[in-house]
Structures are given as C-alpha cells and as structure tokens.
Amino acid sequence: MNLGQYLKDLEEIVNIDSGSEDLTGCLQMAAYFANRFEEAGFDVRISREPGKHPHVEARSFTRKSDEIDILFMGHMDTVFPKGTVQQRPFCIENGKARGPGAADMKSGVLLAFYLAKEIKEKALPLNLCIAFNSDEEIGSADSVDWLKELGTKAKYCFNFEPGRDTGAFVKERKGVYDYHVTFQGIPAHAGVAPEKGASAVIEMARWVWALTNLDAPLQGTTLNPGIVKGGSASNVVAEHAEMLIDLRYTQDSELKRIERVFDEMVAYPRVTGVKVSWERKEGFPPMMPSSRTEGMIELMKEAAAALGQVPPTFASTGGGSDANNLGGLPVSVMDGCGPVGGGYHSNKEYLVLSSIEQRFQLILKTITAIAGR
C-alpha cells in the first residue's frame, strides 16, 4: 500500500466535519467513498433518503450468487459537532495522527477501502461487500436493518473500528441498552401538607440504590444510572422525576433478569401514590465469541506468522459497535480491525501511524487464505 497517499486521503476525510447530527457532513463523506469505490470499479449504491443518515454499499462479486464471502463494515460519522475541524484539524506529530475521528473511525473506513481495492486488483475469487453507515455513534437506527440483512448473507465480517491501544483486535463486545424510567408523583406543599404528596424523587432514589444490588460483575452485568433529574422546587413534594440507565451485559438471561426486576419495582412502588414506567431505548445485543470466531482467530495467527509479525491478540470490551448486531447471526465476526488508536471521543484522540501498514498486511493475508480455501 502507498502509505503517503493513504495519509493524504486521511487528512482530507478527517477534515470533513461529520458528526452524527451533521447530515450535510455525513453526505459529504458518503459521496467521497461512493466516488472512490466507483473509480475503483465497484458496483456502488448510496442511500440518500431525506432526513435519514446516508450509507454506502459497494460490491465486487466474482460469481453469480447473493452469498457474501467477505463483508467489511465501518461508520463515517463521529461524535464531534460541526466546527471541531476548524478548532483542531488533522495533524501528525510524534508518530501519531490527530483530529476528530482520526482513529474512530475514519482511518478504519479508509483502510477498508484500501483493502477492498487491493482485493479487487488481485482478482481474489471472492464476493466482497463493503457497508459504511453514518449513524453508528447514535445507535444506527437508520442502518441496522440493512446491516443485519447483509450479515445474514455473509461468511466473514471484518468491522473496522479502531484496534485497542494495546494493539488487540476485538473478539467480544457486551450488549448495551439504555432504559428511560419515569416517575409520576403527587405534588404538595413541603411545609404545609407534605403528607398529601407522593415524592417522585424519593421513589427514584429507591431505584438508584436498588441498581447497585442488580450488578453481577462475574456474569458481565453492570448498570449505571447516568442521568437522574426531578422536582421543581425545594418546597414542593416532587411531582415528576426521570432517569436514564445504561445496562451492559453478555447473557440474554441477564437481560431478562434485569427487566423482570424492573417490572416488579413498577408493580410495587415504595412510595404510595407514585406511578413508575420504564422503556428500553436504543442499543446493541452482545457480540459473543463462538467456534466460528476461534477459526477466524487461528487464520489471523497463521497470517501473522507467515508475515513475521508479532502474534495478534484479541480482547473483550464493554463498548458496543455495529458488529454487535451481527453477533447472533451465523457469520464469523472480528472487530477492532482498523489501525490502532486511543483517546476516542475526546480531544486527545490519536492514531498510531505504524499500525496502518501492519493491519493492512495482516488482514490482506488472512483474506487471501480465506480465498484459497
């Protein structure tokens, strides 16, 4: 690969503001990759539905079949608001590239493009599909069905989220869901007639405390009441309160256990007169390793040995990604395939330049082995 050209391309796309809420920037990113894939001879489809996030699908099939041998996934959006590029544009210093989304994950989608182009030029006998969305950072609501449909047809999936700062790929991700819980109480004057009220805040406090007893770290289950708010004045018994809970889990039985407890707490509030309701919001199911994952790991280890590289490592993480949505499908999934980085979602984000070619060679060697099977 031409690293110098890659870095020029990376500078161009990092310097495009494409926060998830910036549809103009997301469209600009989609147009960039659609054009690049078309120039490389791929069949390209770009989704531009009004008011929805665009996504790009590129294909290079060597046989007549809907079956996808290799699926590349990645997202073109970032968490940063419009104007961030002006504040801190792309730069390179001390062997690291910086800028909004440099690691998460503009370097990853660009690496996927370079790999796809190389695979096509080598005429490997594969049905290759590339899927880039632009709403991953906000839950992929506009693209999840499309990604799942592609996943049902795929044998192997490489998701180009950044490699861990240790250099590891990601073989396992916890499931993650947000829960919105609302509490409706009865207002009253806190000094004149507190007995006539029913405090939504006190009932919410009961929930906050109860959550600490629902954690099951050995099973991979954690809950975090990240946002809590309620009441209107200190001298009014709170009529309303609400909270947003973050759940991380690895087993479906744990998800059912948590929601069963939520139902019980709704049915039997501690504060008489308070009504409680909960709703599961956006999120991802868990991506758990399987025998298929282990087979993929062995292929990657063999590829590294053939290249004389250090044996790759494979990590588990509590963070979610689009790879989670393929976790329950009969497809071998590997995440963290992008270049190595760290400091995600912050102004300290960085990309390790030395990992770019290493990742490129390892994944290309692995896919070449798959093609030879």
Residues designated as active site = 77, 136
The number of residues in the chain equals 373
Amino acid at the residue 308: G
What 309-312 contacts at long range (C-beta under 8 Å, 24+ apart), as own/partner pairs, is 309/358, 309/361, 309/362, 310/167, 312/167, 312/168, 312/169, 312/362
The span from the CA of 300 to the CA of 319, in Å, is 23
The span from the CA of 73 to the CA of 71, in Å, is 6
Amino acid at the residue 112: A
Amino acid at the residue 327: G
Show the beta-strand stretches assigned E in the chain.
43-47, 55-60, 68-75, 91-93, 96-98, 128-133, 154-159, 162-163, 169-173, 175-184, 222-230, 240-249, 275-284, 314-317, 332-334, 338-342, 350-352
Single out the residue of 339, 282, 355, 344 nearest to residue 78, CA to CA.
Answer: 344
The span from the CA of 172 to the CA of 165, in Å, is 16
Token readout for 163 is 């490699």
User: What angle do the packed helices 291-307 and 354-371 form, to 10 degrees?
Assistant: 120
